Chains A and B, each alone.
Chain A
Amino acid sequence: MKHLLFFFFFVGIHSWAQAVDLHVWQFSIDEEQARPLVAQFEKKYPHIKIHMQQLSWDFGNDKIITSLISGNAPDVFEIGSTWGPHFSQSGVLKEITEETQPYRDHYLMWEPVTVQSKIYGFPWLVGTRFLFYNKTLFQKAGLDPNHPPKTWAELVTAAQKIKALAPDTYGYGIAVAEEFAPWQTFIPYLWNSGGDVLSKDWKTIALNSQAARQTLAFYQTLKPTALLNRQEQIDQLFAAGKVGMMLSGAWNFKSIQKTNSKLEYAVSTVPVPQLSQSSTSFGGGEMLVILNKTKYPKEAFEFVRFLTSYDVELLLSRTQRNVLPSLKTALKDPFFRQDSKMKGFAEQMLTAKAPPAHVGWIKMEKVLSSLIDRVMLQNESIPQALEATSLELSHILNQVQSKGTISDQSLTVWILALLFVLVGGLWFLRDRKKPLGEASTWILVLPWVGLFFVFSLYPLLYSLVISFSEYNVLTSHFSFTGFLNYFLILKDPEFLKAVGHTLFFAAGTVPFTLVISLGLAALIHQGVPWKSLFQAGFFLPVVTSIIVIATLFTFFYSENGFLNFILTTLGLPKPNPAWLINHHWALVSIMAMAVWSSSGYYLILFLAALQSVPSSLYEASRLDGANGFQQFFKITLPQLKPMILFVVVINTINSLQVFPEIFTMTKGGPARSTTTIVYYLYEKGFSEFQMGSASAVAYLLAILMCIFAYVQMKVLREKS
């Protein structure tokens, strides 16, 4: 007994004396708001030091995944509910079934972090989709602004009346052509009509049902009155008072307040087919999870509890107004009774449900979103679209899991062995008559090559090894599969489509960029007034990062964006739906932007090359009476041949790797019409966690590039 007491005493002292560093990564609290909260927690637990970092939504998950693979992940981090099942089953998260036992009944949304009744995370800030409607438009259309539509029939009638008001006013907004919003705003209707995507036991696909046909038919009757666009655009036009109704989320409260605070609108629950039914909606949210390998599980849970406490959740919900507390009692706080909009939001939250916590869901949701695109944008018939979608979904459902695991140490051994064999083989086979090279040569070469070997060759070989295996980065499940990845990818119709899109992209951008940049460079070189102004002016598009440029162009190409504005002003036709959400035009639009943003760069390369063309050549030809065009074809082109070859090769390589534009502007949509090879690769690696397949795609792409570079060099060299 005495020993035991001593033991506890020591353990107590130990854990008290040891300073605990807790690393926390999250998306939801900005740094200014986080500071006082962290201070409050640290005051209560002086031995714990919180290192909190806010992640950006762009690539935030990739950062978490990368750090998990390399064993450098934070103790506590935030994941979206869609990622819940994947992370929960991977073994990287700490199971907290027992710890959360007392809280289970008091909080909402446990489903995404539950695997076979074990709990792997704590629901934090939650949200749902509900009906927004514009009171002013309701009044104008002769509808009762205090009586939102409760049934599908009422919704359709209201939408028609509002649409009849003006040509640029829409009755309802239907989200299309992106990853998440289309299915998230569709599935509430599907659920309300009794349909679902998976069967109860998740063993089969239940989508192809009477309920789904009925729901899609309802969507079709809405179509003539509806604005078909991406959610962000619908939200903006709703805020501008042009859209009568939409299903959307609570982020609108803040943005409407900011952009058009005079808008008279209200919220209500999702309409149902018949009045007697209760209305459910799509629910989701942010989960706090604890790393399995954390050194301080107790403290980590303590911090999770702090962030999910009544006060903190309520504070975040009140200040951000786009999320709700997951704590049910906090949802009933007087605050939610005072504010009619937050009240409607909270009401819908209580009946909201999460999508199935199936690992395949992350792929299924994209397929589900493209079902909406098929029916609404491409006018496929409902039975046909449902059939095709169900087939795709069941493929995902039937995918097999691999076995065995690997650590990155043993991978390193594999890679070093491979390197040893490669170098040894080459050494053995080398031409022994050739000298090694002078010492001064190696002084020139070694600094660069040394660094290059460490930082480029290792990653290169790493992905080569990985590409011959099935490697799930989250679970570290690993097994060598030979050429299986390559084989499967070459058979995948999605990949072949991606190759098609990529080749189309390169074929469209490379010649245009070449002609524009070379032409402009030659014109500038011939001598114009304000030469440096032109040089700088054409270069400017290159200056800003492609992510910002792509964000800007997303607006530029939108329904009410500048391009359509110009076309309307000039009386020219414009595509419907607008550029980026139109599967005929989306890729072309991105290509046009790529030409615009990269021409200035190649122009500078040509200008630099033109400096080394002796001006005596031009003078001589001028004396011979050659005009500008003749000079260009007789002197400039032949002299620039090496640079033209260089630009074509580099530009082809860059075009075949097109990614940030796609990622920012279309996420591969609509209906996967802008999925390029690297975007396909990114999806394989970072949303399906199949790093092996992703690496195989990279090597296939490299082979494709080599072929291109080889052909280009042959063709362009022979001409000279």
Chain B
Amino acid sequence: MKKLFLFGILFCGLLVSLFPLYLMFTTSLKPEGSLLTSMNELWPKQWTLKNYWDVWMSGPFGRYFLNSLGVAFVITVGNVFLALMVAYAFVRRTFVGKKLFFGTILLTMMMPAQIVMVPTFIVMKHFGWLNTYWALVVPSLVLPFNVFLLIQYLKSLPISLEEAARLDGASPFQILFKIVMPLTKPALAVVGINTFLGAWNTFLYPFLLTNTTEMRTLPVGLALYKGVHGVDWVHLMAGSCLAAGPVILVFLVFQKLIIAGLTAGAVKE
């Protein structure tokens, strides 16, 4: 009975959570002309896949897709390793300037993207990286949020395993990648999901830093469906549904890692 009640609460929550997305999905299936009269229809009377086809054919959409995928993948992998390394050093080591570094990391999290936009652009120009993959990838390899999150998580891990490994003669890097990393899986999964998601959906920087069609990412391509006097609803929604696919996939993969952490968590005292 109680189980059923809990299940009911969760189920209602799920409906609220999914309803707008359901709207997004059904809108993407409606024929363009019928939109006005049918915006409030729960189930489209007429439906079509034409919008998806239009979006896919409207430009080098496959290219946008691959660009987004490649950029997001490299950023995600980079962040997982770099952030783990630096967070580990913050938690387990002492070094000069530790507090200062940490303070600066916090400060960058607090700077709105709009304000660092111009200087970032200037840096990219000096490096000659405008309209290259370097500009899309490198600055995002060091997202402060991830370090902050991992520091938080690593602090809660017991130090005893690492000490035992050190006594067995393991090198610092062996300890980090063989002992600590598996224990950090749930947090790393969150880092992975978070980073991939951010990189996949980010619009402002790719839009500013790229100038040719070949370098565009998905959100930059999709933004062209918003005109100055209105939105091309059906195509924007179809494009967004297409764009959501890979993220859902990545989530499902990383989700398993979060659960897998369950057994690793048992090590905790």
Whether A537 lies near B147 (C-beta < 8 A) is no
For residue B178, CB closer than 8 A to chain A, the reply is no
Q: How far apart sit A611 and B138, CA to CA, in the bound complex (Å)?
A: 32
A239 touching B36 in the complex, CB below 8 Å, given contacts A458-B119, A702-B110: yes
Are A560 and B110 closer than 8 Å at their CB atoms?
A: no
Q: Are B17 and A544 in contact (CB under 8 A)?
A: no
Nearest-neighbour CB distance to chain B for A648, whole angstroms, equals: 12
Point out the residue from A56, A459, A682, A691 that lies within 8 Å of B207, measured CB to CB: A56
Main secondary structure of the interface of B (DSSP, over half): helix
Q: Would A459 and B120 be within 8 Å (CB), given that A259-B33, A441-B89, A548-B236 are in contact?
A: yes
Which residues of chain A from 636 to 668 have a CB within 8 Å of any chain B CB? Answer: 642-643, 646, 650, 653, 657, 659
B139 A681 Cβ-Cβ under 8 A: no
Q: Does B159 contact A (CB under 8 A)?
A: no
Q: Say yes or no for B169: interface residue by CB 8 A criterion.
A: no
For A442, give the chain B residue with the smallest CB separation.
B95
Point out residues on B near A: beta carbons under 8 Å.
Answer: 2-3, 6-7, 9-10, 13-14, 16-18, 20-21, 23-24, 32-33, 35-37, 39-40, 58-59, 82-83, 85-86, 88-89, 93-97, 100-101, 104-123, 125, 130, 138-139, 141-142, 144-145, 147-149, 152-153, 155-156, 172-173, 176, 186-187, 189-190, 193-194, 197, 201, 203-204, 207-208, 211-213, 219-220, 222-224, 226-231, 233, 236-237, 240, 243-244, 247-248, 251-252, 255, 258-259, 261-262, 265-266, 268
Contact of B122 among A70, A232, A259, A555 (CB under 8 A): A70
| Chain A, range 506-541, C-beta contacts under 8 Å to B | 516, 520, 523-524, 526, 528-529, 532, 534-541
B113 contact set on A, CB distance < 8 A:
659
What are the nearest 6 A-B pairs in CB distance?
Answer: A437-B95, A545-B201, A462-B119, A459-B119, A56-B223, A459-B116
Scan residues 618-632 of chain A and give those whose CB is less than 8 A from a CB of chain B: 628
- A251 near B230 (CB under 8 angstroms)? yes
Are B7 and A528 in contact, with the CB atoms below 8 A? yes
A441 cross-chain contacts in B, Cβ below 8 A: 89, 93-95
Instruction: Point out the residues of chain B lying under 8 angstroms from A437, CB to CB.
Output: 93-96
In this complex, what residue of A is CB-closest to B96?
A436
Interface string of A229-250 (1 = CB under 8 A from B): 0011001100110000000010
Residues of B within 8 A of A553 (CB): 20
Stretch of A40-48, A160-168, A601-609 contacting B (4+ beta carbons < 8 Å): A601-609
**Residue B18 contacts which of A532, A540, A614 (CB distance < 8 angstroms)?**
A540
Residues of A within 8 A of B243 (CB): 544-545
Q: Which of A72, A678, A681, A709 has the most CB of B within 10 A?
A: A72
Q: For the complex, is A71 an interface residue (Cβ under 8 Å from B)?
A: yes
Q: How far is the CB of B244 from chain A (nearest CB, A)?
A: 5
Binds B, one of A94-102, A187-195, A362-370, A448-456: A448-456
Say whether B9 contacts A544, CB under 8 Å: no
Given A441-B95, A447-B85, A614-B265: 4 more A-B contacts, CB < 8 Å: A448-B83, A455-B139, A555-B233, A695-B115
Query: Whose C-beta in chain B lies nearest to the C-beta of A551?
Result: B231
- Closest residue of A by beta carbon distance from B188: A608
**Min C-beta distance of B49 to chain A, whole Å:** 19
Are B172 and A642 closer than 8 Å at their CB atoms? no
Q: Is the CB of A445 within 8 A of B123?
A: no
Point out the residues of chain B lying under 8 angstroms from A457, CB to CB: 104, 108
Chain B residues with Cβ under 8 A from A455's Cβ? 120, 123, 138-139, 142
| Cross-chain contact of A72 among B85, B116, B125 (Cβ < 8 A) | B125
Decide if A221 is an interface residue (CB 8 Å cutoff). Answer: no
Q: Is residue A716 contacting chain B, with contact meaning CB distance below 8 A?
A: no
- For residue A20, CB closer than 8 A to chain B, the reply is no
**Are A426 and B13 in contact, with the CB atoms below 8 A?**
no
Which residues on the B side are within 8 Å of A646 (C-beta)? 148-149, 152
Q: How far is the CA of A69 from the CA of B124 in the complex (A)?
A: 13
A298 sits at the interface (CB 8 A) = no
Residues of the A chain whose Cβ atoms lie less than 8 Å from the Cβ of B58: 32
Contacting residues, chain B, for A449 (C-beta < 8 A): 86, 101
Closest to B218 in A: A545
A428: interface (CB < 8 Å): no
Partner of A426, one of B2, B97, B142: B97
User: Which A residues are CB-close (under 8 A) to B220?
Assistant: 56
Confirm or deny: A705 has a beta carbon within 8 angstroms of a beta carbon on chain B: yes
Give Cα A59–Cα B204 distance, bound, in whole angstroms. Answer: 8
